[in-house]
Amino acid sequence: MDSRLPKRVRPHATRGPARARPLRRARPLDRDHARQPAAPEARPTPLVLRFTRYGIPALAVAAGIVAMCFGSETSLIGGAGLIGAGLATWLISWLYRIGVEGDRAREAEERARSYFERNGRWPAP
């Protein structure tokens, strides 16, 4: 029974008992072109971004604490609301960073898969 998939997708089925042996190449690979493109290097986080991630939530929490300490009974509720808003802002920022990190992992996986298609082996980490 022949498959409708192209043979290049299923090299193990076309080689029969020799499938345990590595594929032979007609020409040696050029080592510079065979390497997987490196993932973008981690750059230091800009100061404005750090302030947006941590400073704004910290200021909201600090304002809530100040309102709770020096205010009236009504400002206790307002201060608790400010603390909750600061913590929620920090949590949303953290969840966004987790999501972006997952996108980077998917991009690295896609680069590794394209390398595998070109060279027939999975790239070294």
What share of the chain has pLDDT > 90, as a percent?
A: 39
What does the pLDDT read at residue 90?
95
The C-alpha angle 112, 116, 118, rounded to 5 degrees, equals: 120
13-22: long-range contacts (C-beta < 8 A, 24 or more apart)?
A: none
**What rounded mean pLDDT belongs to the chain?**
80
pLDDT digits (tens, 9 = 90+) for 68-86: 999 888 899 999 999 999 9
The DSSP code for 7 is G
Higher pLDDT pick, 52 / 23: 52
pTM across the whole model:
0.55
Tokens representing 44 are 């230091």
Contact 57, 90 (CB under 8 A): yes
